[in-house]
Amino acid sequence: MTETKQKETYSFQTEVGRLLQIVTDSLYSNREVFLRELISNASDACDKLRHAALTTPALTDGDADFRITLSADNDAGTLSISDNGIGMSHDDLLSTLGTIAQSGVNAFLEKLGDEDKDNVKLIGQFGVGFYSAFMVANKVDVVTRKAGENQAWLWSSDGKGEFSIEPADRDQRGTTITLTLKDDAKEFSEDIRLKTVVKTYSDHISFPIKLGDETLNEASALWTRPARDITPEQYKEFYHHTAHAFDDPWLTIHNQVEGLISYTNLLFVPSTRPFDLFDPERKSHVKLYVNRVFITDDTQGLLPPYLRFLRGIVDSEDLSLNVSREMLQTDPKLAKIKSSLTKKVLGELKKKGEADAEAYVSFWRDFGAVLKEGLVDDFSMRDKLLELCRFKSTHGSELTSLAAYKERMKEGQDGLYYMAGTDAEKMAHSPQLEGFRAKGVEVLLFEDAVDEFWLRHINEFDGKPFKSVTQGDANLDDIKSEDADKEQKDESENEHITQLVASFKATLGDLVKDVRPSKRLTDSPVCLIADDSGMDVNLERLLKQTGQLQALSVRILEVNPDHTMIRKLADRASGDAASNDTLLTDAAHLLLDQARIADGEEPVDPVAFGRRLSSVMSEAL
Ligand code: ADP
Ligand code: MG
């Protein structure tokens, strides 16, 4: 049917048109990368066919030697890149060479304003893939025949908005891309130039890249070579190719593991955060090879979800080549590789964190929230993961590790104090922290929602319990103060407010769980605290937001016995006229509302709050 089709002409998808315009118009400093892109695609095509031939061996009948062939005609000013990989059908051509598959590029183009000339340079950081051919060519012809099909096709375009597809002749499966080079790009039809470009960008490709009789690259899988023979540049180019990413790797983890199960991993932590990191549909980007044969890049079961930012490959001879992807997921050998890999990666991250704290912080900002998911999901790695965590704290503007916090703990301090909320800046000014600050006790400021969830499962770090400063008793008495004046204060010193506390309790009734003298306040008169037995305040807020909780629990109102206003109110509360003193009842309500406002909440009854405020102010005037 398709055999009889004549030449058809199509328009590029709008985004492609846009991309092509940028690619062709811009004075692209690094345009030699077009060759890297086309070779990368040719290599992918060989990988795909080799994988397909595992189940349908006939697909590679007659020619199982995968290779990529360059041929240049200096007189005609053409260059062609040929492969004997999987090839493309008519429909493949239509759906791939005319649209943009990588949504990252689309997102990038959207951000790129029309007149954004400077940003055009950024395009180099993205893979423009196949379309980069138009940086150097006026015309691109793709002749391709899919493995297992008889009909070949010619895709052709000058990169100006349209492309055509028509039937063509080709003896063998695979793809040949012929570029008619622009006048100022004729250098790419010179052998010497081609050799250097291939050596620079494509040496890691595992299939031979041929020019005439010569093989230009090493042609062995990069990961099988000893790490000492691989340059950082080669690692980087391999990362670009295999991850379809264009930033620099932040960390490269290359190991050849021999043991009960042998495998090789060459994994990368990107230096920029992938846009789809929190997309629930996001697949793993680590490719699985068995004995250097590509198997799948949908590798659930190879690495835990909280390491989904990793890119690269894992290759093992011990897995069976012929198992289906579904069976792979449940293969106990894969589970062993997973746990060994996970430990390895966490170990490397720890080393990097110790060696270069500053660089680690930038990693943490991009991927910390993802790693923290592991605290909830992966019990076996909890301790290792906790060591990798960094948090804000009242110690300074830098992020701290829990180990460093522990080093700074005060004599007599019985736990790691934290406050959880949504905004560390605001939390740092909370009344609940005053007493801790006065004693020089550092408080961790947890501002990620996920923190509340791991805190429900993890009670301690390295033998010390986590303690919320907004919940339960503040056990500050045992901690030596830096300031001797503030030292030791016993219960009897709070006797002067006993009456006031009783009066507040009577007035507020069910609005509070209790009223009690505070040890944690120094400057503010009051604050609210969660009961020891219940949930911490921030957790309740989160659960309420998500509808899992109807209302917040009633909290304890703590009163600062040393505050001048409280002292004066206490005098009135123990005086003769106390029983019908409206100021005392107004003050009880106003102080509760003040504490609520400090926690970012509304007064119990905003109208009553206004009325009481006016009445107290009028009296003072
Ligand atoms: P990417 O490689 O990131 O998918 P490209 O723009 O480089 O994006 O390529 C687009 C698609 O075109 C590829 O995913 C592949 O399906 C197809 N393609 C390109 N070159 C070849 C080739 N030599 N053989 C088979 N398919 C190819
Ligand atoms: Mg590509």
- pLDDT in the model for residue 28: 58
Ligand 1 neighbour 176 (Cβ under 6 A): no
Ligand 1 center–CA 604 separation, angstroms: 62
Mean pLDDT to the nearest integer, 188-196: 95
CATH number, domain of 509, equals 1.20.120.790
41 lines ligand 1 (CB under 6 A): yes
Give the confidence band of 483 by pLDDT, cuts at 50, 70, 90.
low
Q: How confident is the model at residue 366 (pLDDT cuts 50, 70, 90)?
A: very high
CATH code where residue 208 lies: 3.30.565.10
Cβ atoms of 612 and 583 closer than 8 Å: no
SS3 content of the chain, % helix, strand, coil (to 5): 45, 20, 35
Q: Is the CB of 72 under 6 A from ligand 1?
A: no
Residue-wise pLDDT for 602-613, tens only, equals: 999 999 999 999
274 close to ligand 1 (CB < 6 Angstrom)? no
| Residues whose Cβ atom is located within 5 A of ion ligand 2 | 40-41, 129
Are residues 346 and 416 located together in one domain of the fold? no
* In-domain check, residue 368: no
C-beta 127 within 6 A of ligand 1:
yes
Atom of ligand 1 nearest to the CA of 85: 24
Question: What mean pLDDT do residues 286-297 have?
Answer: 87
Q: Which residues pair with 180 in a beta bridge?
A: 78, 139
Query: Within this chain, do residues 132 and 158 fall inside the same structural domain, yes or no?
Result: yes
CA 245 to ligand 1 centroid distance, Å:
14
Cα 338 to averaged position of ligand 1 atoms, centre (Å):
30
Closest listed ligand to the CA of 128: 1
Residue 234 lies in a domain: yes
Instruction: Look at residues 215, 241, 267 and tell me which one is the last residue of a structural domain.
Output: 215
CA distance 327 to 331: 6
Query: Residue with the nearest Cα to atom 11 of ligand 1?
Result: 96
- CA dist 323 to 47, 328, 331, Å? 17, 6, 9
Q: Whose CA is nearest to atom 21 of ligand 1?
A: 41
The response to whether residue 85 sits with its C-beta less than 6 Å from ligand 1 reads yes
CB 112 within 8 A of CB 118: no
User: Distance between CA atoms of 485 and 207, rounded to whole angstroms?
Assistant: 76
**In this structure, are 548 and 439 located in the same domain?**
yes
Q: Domain for residue 285, yes or no? A: yes
Cα(277)–Cα(245) distance, integer angstroms: 14
Pocket test for ligand 1, best of 92, 130, 142 (most atoms within 8 A of CB): 130
Residues 551 and 611 in one domain: yes
Which residue has the least CA distance to atom 8 on ligand 1? 129
* pTM of full prediction above 0.95: no
Say if ligand 1 is within 6 A of residue 164 CB: no
230 and 174 inside one domain: no
**301 Cα–ligand 2 center, Å:** 26
Q: Which residues, 6 or more positions from 13, have their beta carbon under 8 angstroms from its beta carbon?
A: 98, 99, 100
Q: Is the CB of 83 under 6 A from ligand 1?
A: yes
Predicted local confidence at residue 99, as pLDDT = 83
Q: In what order do the strands lie in the sheet with 293-296?
A: 249-257, 263-270, 311-316, 285-290, 293-296
pLDDT at residue 58 above 80? Answer: yes
Where does residue 436 fall: left (phi above 0), alpha (psi -120 to 50 degrees), or beta otherwise?
alpha
Question: Using CA atoms, how far apart are residues 281 and 613, in angstroms rounded to an integer?
Answer: 53
- Pair (31, 167) in one structural domain: yes
What pLDDT shows up at residue 277? 78
- Report the percent of the chain where pLDDT is more than 90: 65
Q: Kindly give, in sequence order, each residue whose CB lies less than 8 Å from that of residue 141, ignoring residues fewer than 6 positions away.
A: 154, 155, 156, 177, 178, 180
Dihedral of the CA atoms 48, 50, 55, 59 (nearest 10)?
Answer: 100
Lowest pLDDT segment from 174-188, 275-289, 295-309, 579-593: 275-289
Q: Atom 9, ligand 1: which residue's CA is nearest?
A: 130
Give me 226's structure tokens. 């000893």
Task: With CA atoms as reference, report the closest residue to 611 among 589, 578, 584.
Answer: 589
Check: CB of residue 447 under 8 Å from CB of residue 422: yes
Last residue within a domain, chosen from 357, 380, 409: 357
| CA angle, 266 then 269 then 274, to 5° | 125
The pLDDT-based confidence of 286 (bands split at 50, 70, 90) is very high
Q: Where would I find the H helices in 279-438?
A: 325-330, 332-355, 357-377, 382-388, 402-407, 424-427, 434-438
Tokens encoding 158: 């000058």
Q: Nearest ligand to the C-alpha of residue 85?
A: 1
Which of 332, 357, 382 is a domain's end point? 357
Q: What are phi and psi of 503, to 5 degrees?
A: -65, -45
The pairing of beta strand 556-559 with beta strand 464-468: unpaired
| Any ligand 1 atom below 6 A from CB of 244 | yes
Question: What are the tens digits of pLDDT across the range 526-564?
Answer: 999 998 888 888 888 888 888 888 888 999 999 999 999
Phi and psi, residue 538, nearest 5°:
-65, -35
User: Between the CA atoms of 430, 432, 438 and 444, what dihedral angle is there, to the nearest 10 degrees?
Assistant: -80
Is any atom of ligand 1 closer than 6 Å to the C-beta of 86?
yes
Would you say residue 74 has pLDDT above 60? yes
Strand order of the sheet with strand 209-211?
8-11, 162-168, 152-157, 137-145, 174-181, 78-83, 68-73, 209-211, 214-215
Whether 245 and 349 map to the same domain: the answer is yes
Nearest CA to ligand 1 atom 18: 41
Residue 529 within any structural domain of the chain: yes
What is the C-alpha to C-alpha distance for residues 87 and 572, in angstroms, rounded to an integer? 91
Pick the range with the lowest mean pLDDT from 69-83, 254-268, 272-286, 453-467. 272-286
Torsion angle of C-alpha atoms 280, 281, 284, 285, degrees rounded to 10: -110
What is the average pLDDT value for the chain, to the nearest integer?
89
Q: Tell me what pLDDT residue 495 has.
A: 87
Please tell me if the CB atom of residue 389 comes closer than 6 angstroms to any atom of ligand 1: no
CA of 452 to the centre of ligand 2 (A): 42
Highest average pLDDT, of 51-55, 240-244, 352-356, comes from 352-356
Percent of the chain scored above 70 by pLDDT?
Answer: 91
Alpha-helical regions (H) of 203-276: 232-243
Question: Would you call 130 helix, strand, or coil by DSSP?
Answer: helix
Residue 268's CATH number: 3.30.230.80
Name the nearest CA neighbour of 217 among 35, 15, 449: 35
Dihedral sign, Cα of residue 125, residue 130, residue 136, residue 139: negative
Q: Are residues 199 and 234 in the same domain?
A: no
Q: Is the CB of 96 under 6 A from ligand 1?
A: yes
Q: Quick one: which ligand is closest to 23's CA?
A: 1
Range of the domain at 44: 8-215
Q: How close is the Cα of 106 to the center of ligand 2, in Å?
A: 15
Is 1 within a domain?
no
91 has pLDDT over 90: yes
In whole angstroms, give the CA distance from residue 447 to residue 465.
Answer: 19
Per-residue pLDDT at 449 exceeds 60? yes
Residue nearest (by alpha carbon) to ligand 1 atom 16:
96
Nearest CA to ligand 1 atom 20: 41
Write down the residue that tokens 């494509």 correspond to.
202
103 lines ligand 1 (CB under 6 A): no
Q: Choose the residue to mutate in 96, 132, 146 for probing ligand 1, maximizing ligand atoms within 8 Å of C-beta.
A: 96
**DSSP line for 508-563:** HGGG-SEEEE-SS-SSSSEEEEB-TTS--HHHHHHHHHTTS-SSPPP-EEEE-TT-
**What's phi and psi for 15, nearest 5 deg?**
-60, -35
Residue 364 lies in a domain: no
Look at residue 26 and tell me whether its pLDDT is greater than 70: no
185 and 279 in a single domain? The answer is no
pLDDT at 361 over 90: yes
Q: How far is the CA of 522 from the centre of ligand 2 (A)?
A: 63
How far from 330 is each of 106, 199, 294, 312, 486, CA to CA, in Å?
36, 40, 19, 21, 62
The Cα 492–Cα 495 span in angstroms is 5
CB atoms closer than 10 angstroms to residue 73: 12
Say yes or no: 210 and 234 in one domain: no
Whether 376 is covered by a domain: the verdict is: no
Distance of CA 439 from the midpoint of ligand 1 (Å): 63
**Residue at token pair 């209790």:** 514
Other Cβ atoms closer than 10 A to 170? 17
Q: Is the CB of 88 under 6 A from ligand 1?
A: yes
State whether residue 141 is helix, strand or coil: strand
Query: Which ligand 1 atom is the nearest neighbour of the CA of 92?
Result: 16
CB contact set of 392 (below 8 Å; sequence gap of 6+): 399, 400, 424, 444, 445, 446, 447
Domain count, the chain: 3
User: CA 142: distance to chain centroid?
Assistant: 37
Shortest CA distance to 393 belongs to which of 340, 441, 464?
Answer: 441
In a domain, 374, yes or no: no
Examine the domain organization and report whether 495 and 444 are in the same domain: yes
> Quick one: pLDDT at residue 119?
53
Which of 17-21, 34-38, 51-55, 428-432 is the least confident region? Answer: 17-21
Which residue puts its alpha carbon closest to atom 19 of ligand 1? 41
Pairwise CA distance, residues 613 & 619, whole Å: 10
Both 160 and 262 in a single domain?
A: no
